[in-house]
Amino acid sequence: MRLICETLEDVEFICEDSGKGKNYYIEGIFMQANVKNRNGRLYPKHILTKEAKRYEQNYIKQNRAFGELGHPEGPTVNLERVSQLITELKEDGNDFRGRAKIMDTPYGKIVKNLIDEGARLGVSSRGMGSLKPMGRNCSQVQDDFYLATAADIVADPSAPNAFVEGIMEGKEWVWQNGAVKEMDIEAYRKELDMKYERTQAREEKNAEIMADFMSKLEIL
């Protein structure tokens, strides 16, 4: 399963004065289905619908649907980098619209300052899944897709997704005992190669023993 991140700019950063201080929110489209995005990936609607429902039930309703500031290097949410709490994720046609409150965490305060200064920000969904090529420059996300967070905040919403994929080159994630574990593909391949070499050497030795045995039978 690969780390998959998609960036969208069609969101608003809102500041509301409650009388007791300012509250900051993000609202807009967090995910889109049935359309090839700028990264050449297409998400079937039934997959996003399934994951949005699971995410709402297991994370949003439990007040633990966190998002981070920046481009994280893996699928697990790092609590030290949390900047917002996602409070809504609703299906609207092929769009999945969300709302998140900027938290008063160290990284949340950075986001608030950026908003006050007029910075242009975007949101990036983050998940894991496999991809199936569908013709030229297009891949379809498969049924094993798992949504890790609906919205990280990114400062370069127009950047190509190759930035994130470049960081994760040679890495995959697997489910192990109910937890996500990073797997180093190259190390895994080396281990398989070593096992193959040992197996091959053992088979060659067995062949030598058998040939020696057969030659002795011929002498008899």
Query: Is 46 among the catalytic positions?
Result: no
Its pTM surpasses 0.85? no
| Per-residue pLDDT at 185 | 53
Cα 107 to Cα 208: distance, rounded to the nearest angstrom: 66
The closest of 127, 123, 125 to 3, measured between CA atoms, is 127
The closest of 72, 102, 100 to 86, measured between CA atoms, is 100
Residue in 46, 71, 83, 215 annotated catalytic: 71
Residues belonging to the chain = 220
Query: Is 124 among the catalytic positions?
Result: yes
| Per-residue pLDDT at 196 | 64
Phi/psi at 45 (5° precision): -60, -40
| Per-residue pLDDT at 43 | 94
pLDDT means over runs of 10, the chain (220 residues): 81 83 91 90 95 97 96 87 96 94 96 89 90 90 94 71 39 57 60 69 70 62
Residue in 46, 124, 158, 215 annotated catalytic: 124
| Per-residue pLDDT at 216 | 62
